Amino acid sequence: MKVNGKRVVSRLEEIYQCGKKEDGTFTRMAFSAEDVKGRKLFASWAEALGMTCRIDEAGNLIARMEGQDEKLPAILMGSHLDTVPDGGKYDGVLGCVGGLEICETFKEEGYVPRHPIEVIVFTDEEGFRFGKGLTGSSAICGQDPKVSDSEADIYGEERGKVMESYGITSGDMLKAAKDPSSVHCFIELHVEQGARLYKTDTSVGVVSSIAGVNRYDVVVTGEANHAGSTAMADRKDALVAAAGFINKIPEITAEYGNEFTVATVGTIKVTPHSVNVIPGTCAFSLEIRDQDDKVMSLIEEKLRGFLEEICKKYGVTHTFVPTSFHEPAPMSEWVKENVEKAVKELGIDYCTIPSGAFHDSLIMTSVFPTGMIFVPSEKGISHSRYEYTKDEDIENGCNVLLQTVLNVDR
Ligand code: HGY
Ligand code: MN
Ligand code: MN
């Protein structure tokens, strides 16, 4: 039994087209009209297969195919359809379309699995809009996604209002929690989004674990003053102190981290934001990721220490507020073994790799047996319109997913 690779590739393109916007990008921001269009298209494909589709209280779109024994726990597949701004064709979509392809292949072959199968399109994995992602998977795992209808997104729109497009409200989200005994396992197919597979010309990655990610809001406060008449020696420039801190990040990660340690300042804002005023405040986000939570703590400690030091040097103060914590998450041993067995059975070259990006699997693995399959990202590019994965790699990845489902179904 083999998947229809051409169908998968053409569906990736069809979903991508749902994001076509006037600004020339293809963006399916969570809860947007483009995102809803993509989800409707996905549901139409699932329904055409005779699968039942429902949207749970957290907005997850769940397509279900019954198996031979309705009492058996379900095999879950899936990922997300929402994208980052100007995102690519593959991130998330592959896991959803790939999951559906397994169901379609079963149907065409007249194969009825023992277990029921569910393909889940998770709600707002990317999270750039409200500053926190993994929303739908958190709720499915019974973990509070910590959202509120009154919070505003980066465009000033209220969550309660924008989530009307999914027909959901924040207060109900935890009702989407799945009983662990109803789930056999979860398998997510995804593009690597890094360059390890690409650089080593390897077709498939069996994911060992997903990096933990801790986020912080940092505000440096100095003194806004006239940019012309304030001598350099008299300044308390918040941005100069912040810049000194940011510039030190690569050095600290190199000294105390390892090859997987990353730290990023991804957003930055100064006030009053005027060409002729010394910045009085500089607010920025900080993110630390690693495969080892002890390393993450050490990096945090060293960065905080240096921030303290540099703020003192420039006569400014700061606050450092943790906003979210996710520990590194190993994949379940038995699911991982089944993925590995599948790749070997198919004779495809593979390696075992950790994931630097996070995925819905980061949360899912804390409650359900979870495994991930990676396919290469050309030049390691992702979160970009230039994201590309070769058709043959897409087909290989889907066949590994198919074979893994067959293995765990037995
Ligand atoms: O940020 C991440 O790692 C994920 O791709 N959303
Ligand atoms: Mn993704
Ligand atoms: Mn992504």
Other C-beta atoms lying within 10 Å of the C-beta of residue 399: 24
| Position 250 confidence tier, pLDDT thresholds 50, 70, 90 | very high
Question: Among residues 394, 24, 53, which one has the least CA distance to residue 191?
Answer: 394
Model pLDDT, residue 316: 98
Other C-beta atoms lying within 10 Å of the C-beta of residue 175: 11
How far, in Å, are 118, 236, 237, 271, 334 from residue 283 at the CA level? 42, 15, 13, 9, 44
Ligand 1: distance of its center to the CA of 246 in Å? 21
- Average pLDDT (265-282) is 97
Residue 309 has pLDDT above 90, yes or no: yes
* Pair 371, 397: CB distance under 8 Å: no
Model pLDDT, residue 12: 98
Give percent above pLDDT 70 in the chain: 100
Domains annotated on the chain, with CATH: 5-210+328-409 (3.40.630.10), 212-326 (3.30.70.360)
- Ligand 1 pocket residue status of 128, Cβ below 6 Å: no
Question: Among residues 128, 139, 130, which one has the least CA distance to residue 162?
Answer: 130
Model pLDDT, residue 131: 85
Given the CA of residue 357, which atom of ligand 1 is nearest to it? 3
How far, in Å, are 200, 323, 377 from residue 204 at the CA level? 11, 34, 11
Mutation probe of ligand 1 site: the residue of 28, 83, 126 with most atoms within 8 A of C-beta: 126
Model pLDDT, residue 348: 98
Question: Among residues 68, 89, 166, 175, which one has the least CA distance to residue 388?
Answer: 89
* CA 388 – CA 410 distance, rounded (Å): 34
- Ligand 1 pocket residue status of 126, Cβ below 6 Å: yes
Computed over every residue of the chain, the mean pLDDT equals: 97
* Pair 282, 241: CB distance under 8 Å: yes
* Pair 399, 221: CB distance under 8 Å: no
- Average pLDDT (95-114) is 98
Residue 59 has pLDDT above 90, yes or no: yes
3-state SS class at 221: strand
Instruction: State phi, psi for 141 to the nearest 5 degrees.
Output: -85, 0
* CA 78 – CA 363 distance, rounded (Å): 13
Instruction: State phi, psi for 107 to the nearest 5 degrees.
Output: -60, -45
Model pLDDT, residue 138: 97
Instruction: State phi, psi for 57 to the nearest 5 degrees.
Output: -65, -20
Model pLDDT, residue 21: 92
- Ligand 1 pocket residue status of 53, Cβ below 6 Å: no
Ligand 1: distance of its center to the CA of 230 in Å? 42
Mutation probe of ligand 1 site: the residue of 289, 360, 383, 387 with most atoms within 8 A of C-beta: 383
How far, in Å, are 140, 208, 209, 301, 329 from residue 333 at the CA level? 21, 9, 10, 32, 12
- Average pLDDT (145-159) is 96
pLDDT in tens, 165-219: 999 999 999 999 999 999 999 999 999 999 999 999 999 999 999 999 999 999 9
- Average pLDDT (336-345) is 98
- Average pLDDT (356-382) is 97
| Position 132 confidence tier, pLDDT thresholds 50, 70, 90 | confident
3-state SS class at 153: coil
- Ligand 1 pocket residue status of 402, Cβ below 6 Å: no
Q: Write down the pTM of the prediction.
A: 0.93
